[in-house]
Amino acid sequence: MEIENSCCKIYNQKDVNSPESELPKFLQSCIDSIIIKEGFLNPNIKINKIPIDGGNYLACLYAVDICGKTKCGEKEINIFIKNSIPVDESYADLFLLSELYCNECFVYKDLSKIFKKLEDEANVPLEERYRIAKCYDESSSEAIILENLAKKGFRTCDRKEIVPLKYTELAVQQLAKFNSFGFIIQKMMPGYFEKKISCLPDSMDFGDGWRNIMKKTAKFSIKNMSSDAKKKAEVIIENVDVYTEYMIDKSSVLTLCHGDYRANNVMMREKEGEVVDVMPVDYQIIRYGCPANDLLYFIYGCTDPQFRRRHMKHLIDMYYETMTNYLKYFNIDITEVYPRKEFDSSLRNRQHFGVLVALCFYAFYYAPKDNPPDLTKGSDCLDIDVDLDIVKRIEDTIEEIDHQCFL
């Protein structure tokens, strides 16, 4: 959600619908609607088309700044738009793009209100609440329209850098609260839970199409590996179905899951070089599943083995402690919904989760900024150049899984 000042155009409201405007017509209509609701009187509108930096493959991104007079005086609002782009039909057996955007609309326009209502009723202190961005009602299955968090000092992490410990701590705490809402809604709003949460379908189809794409991306990752690491990796790739088993497993404790909780989807705000706040975003793959998947997906997605040797146990304990304390606001005893023994078992039973994340997803996570994967072309054309530093991180993760010292 970071903004660069390239591709910038400034308009008076009457010019926004002109042919040279950066925004598609339906987005122009959305902006017009927001302008009316916010009470602007012929405002100035600045549009930035945000360059794709390798962290986004399914959208065009825009920043729209609106400022001018209202009946109550001068006003400015800052908007971020994520507009879906056509994806090649060869990916249709993996996901339906409109469903991903509908999922995100559901979280921002429906669930966020439920979260606030429940936290208000439980008198959860403001500083202990789940953090979620403001969404505009004009969001749809084509575009998500949010407050521009970059204007509030938030940014995404540098994708190739190992994230700071403070960032991972804050992100893990927010994840624990998000996962807690499945338990909270089940207790406080059982009808809503049955209708909207427990029946959430998987947005990703973990069938043959998914399996083939994962094997293909994994091969990009191992192309430049040492021969010994490559042999081990090839064995793991042939057992990629284990990841599917982790995701569709219904035998463990289930709750509301984010589905794509990684560094690019958890923005951070710093003060004097220290991370002081984080904001989760991008809820396109929300699901009802095992929360251990979310936790491991995040930790393995943004850290290396050295970081995990030092901090893995600490982060696991912090996650569980945060969930324990957060549920207390709602008079829920965690031992009744997610006993520590069950939590530890679900982590232990996913001992290969981390290496599968590294092999199958790092190619996408860390794709070059100047040459990101192009999903508008057929899957046969997919080609990703994996940086040698990332290849080394994957090799180290393979060795780490051999030892499994942290569990």
| Residue found by looking up tokens 């042939």 in the block | 238
This prediction has a pTM of 0.92
Structure confidence at residue 5 (pLDDT): 36
Separation CA 183–CA 332 (nearest Å) = 8
| Residues 6+ positions from 93 with CB-CB distance below 8 Å | 205, 207, 208, 209, 210
Write out pLDDT tens, residues 36-70: 999 999 999 999 999 876 567 778 999 999 999 99
What span, in angstroms and rounded, lies between the C-alpha atoms of 261 and 177? 13
**Which pLDDT value is given to residue 7?**
42
Could you give the angle at which helices 388-403 and 227-238 cross, rounded to 10 degrees? Answer: 70
Give residue 282's pLDDT. 96
Listed as ranges, residues in the chain with pLDDT below 70 are 1-21, 53-55, 402-407
pLDDT at 243: 87
In angstroms, the CA 58 to CA 374 distance is: 9
pLDDT for res 290:
96
- pLDDT confidence of residue 55: 63
- For residue 344, give every residue at least 6 positions away whose Cβ sits within 8 Å of its Cβ, in sequence order, or none: 407
CA 271 → CA 171, 277, 322, distances in Å? Answer: 16, 9, 23
| Residue type at position 365 | Y
Side chain identity, residue 288: Y
Which domains does the chain carry? Answer: 8-84 (no CATH), 89-132+162-403 (3.90.1200)
Residue 20 has a pLDDT of 36
88-144 pLDDT, tens digit each? 887 777 788 889 999 999 999 999 999 999 999 999 999 999 999 999 999 999 999
Q: Judge whether 221 and 362 are in contact, CB under 8 Å.
A: yes
Strands (DSSP E) found in 294-375:
none
CA distance 24 to 17: 9
At residue 114, the 3 state secondary structure works out as helix
Q: pLDDT value at position 90?
A: 78
